[in-house]
Structure 1
Amino acid sequence: MNDHDNNLPAVPEGDEPVPNPGLPPHHWRPTDVDPKAEKRAERQVAAFFGVATVALLGFFVSYFAFQVGDNWDTIAGLGASNLMLGLTLAIAFLCIGIGLIHWARKLMTDQEIVELRHPAASSEEDRSTSVGLVLQGVDDSGIGRRPLVRNSLLGALGLVGLAPIIMLRDLGPLPGDKLLHTIWKPGMRVVRDVVGTPIHVSDLEIGDLVNAEPAAIFELDDEGHHVVEGVELQIAKSKGAVILLRMEPGEITPWKGRENWSVEGIVCFSKICTHVGCPISLNERTKHHLLCPCHQSTFDLADNGKVIFGPAARHLPQLPIEVDDEGYLVAQSDFTEPVGPSFWERDKT
């Protein structure tokens, strides 16, 4: 099909596809012709940015000033922290938005242009021209010659960037040294998982594997005994979960300093895989190998929990054990290294 098929005249090469309708007369804004109006608009924009800055400072103060938790601070029956955080952040964003719109409408260059649609693929010349137009736009915005607007905007936006950093604190308390210790203490009995019964040396035969945990009932504080119970107890026991395995004493090859960490062929290791923290309990009875069901990391319990297969990068931490006066298994101390999956500050030896 061509132009003649539709009785349409051919468009001469180089002509515009449609007649140029022209532009209406340009109407100058008050800020374009009146220096006082321009300065007034500039102060108004800076004022909006200034209010945003004050609101963001209020956000930071509210975050630390109002109590949350058991004794919530309230305002008109509402949680003061949530109310003030939401209100101050909303005011800040609202004022920044209004300031930007006011700046664009009153102070940025105002000129009508007409441009024909160009092909999707631009030439190098067009790209260079586009970069020039961007730079021209920066110049037209007046940000370089309006330090009051520029500085107030940068101040407000700078505080906006700090807001999410401050709120990272709500992800929870810093772990401190909690990753380096468990609830195990000298003399604490090793008890069977779930049922909580103490384990006598005579209870285990060669090849037996037992899932166990600390008999964590009390922790000492400055005023006496503090009962560990509920969620706190469950977390402590899960972190201190262990497995016991009995083998012939001659099959154990302890590292230097670990010669007395086992009792009559009974060894005790963390139940938490050092890869990503899965619970381990699959035992190859004749080889003393312990297999993690998640990613098949395999540890040799006869050789200090050494990794012999799989993605785990560290051996299983071993808990030194002994027997008390009644013949029950107890811990000599806490683990001498962190349990669980590796993290960035952990020694990889």
Structure 2
Amino acid sequence: MSNIKKIYKSKKVESYVVLVVLAFCSYAIAELSMFKTLGISALIIAVVLGAVVGNFAYHNVSLLKKTGALAVCTKQVLRLGIILYGFRISLQDIQGVGLNGVALAAFIVFSTFFLGLLLGKILKIDFLQSALIASGSAICGAAAVLASESVLKAGSSKVAVAVCTVVVFGSIGMFLFPLLNNIFNMPSYYFGYFIGASLHEVAHVVGAGFSIGSDGANTSIVIKMIRVLMLVPFLIMLSFCFQKSDSNTSLIKQIPWFAIMFLVVVFISSTPLLNTSFSLNFIKPNIEILDTFLLSLSMVALGVNIRKDMLSQAGFKPFLMAIILMLWLIIASFLYIKFFII
């Protein structure tokens, strides 16, 4: 037994190298103009690459699991990635859209999540599955699914289905939503509120936002990042209300400290030191690159656990739920903006 453990320990470095190379490839592919135009982020590509490896190199996946590399990437690396995500947001961004923008983001996040739980109950979808789909729709797509999974411990199969719904409906929305302004007839500034409040991934918001002009693009990104900021109270709520715990688990241990650190990083990101010309042009962009890479590494690790039979076993119900949530995002965002912001 000790000899087997030594073999796995010696293979640990090789395991990390494999995962790092896959993450680097996903990041490089996402930088290609074709994928940028389609708004396909490195995170989405990473989970696909991981799934390909997981389905065609099963023995290698078994080795990755036994060395512990997958566990580290889906927990510690993931949480570090979420903490660093806070450098993408500053308090100055939030001031730009005021209390109306914050209230809109909070309303969309929590109403979408609880509607998702209700739909899951009606459609008889597993609670953990419906919670992941709802969190991905409500907050920031794949990153929110990852963060929620780290609290709920839902498992790779449920993560795969939830991420798939984000990819499908977020991509559809990115192309569809700019056309909706012909129907809604809003000034581009306020239509930016709509895009930021209703689309799934940050990349989808960027893609749709820039198609309606700079005013709309800037507003859409700020509103979206405020939704991302809602990840902090959301994860704390998940931890206290839905996380599985036994009677021996202390209150302190239930707090998702990485979410608190995310908020601390947002405050650090707002300091004058990190808003100088040098910081904005060098420090923050490089932190963002590192963060995207770390999140891609986590997605690769999750992806290798995804088997091809998982999505077929999930059935149509999770996708029906995601369709209804997308309609809710469209209708609720439009009505809120129309009655409370314009």
Establish whether TM, by shorter chain, passes 0.5: no
Q: Greater relative contact order (Cα 8 A, min sep 6): structure 1 or 2?
A: 2
Which protein shows a greater Rg? 1
TM-score under structure 2 length normalisation = 0.18
TM-score under structure 1 length normalisation = 0.18
User: Per residue, is there more strand in 1 or in 2?
Assistant: 1
User: Per residue, is there more helix in 1 or in 2?
Assistant: 2
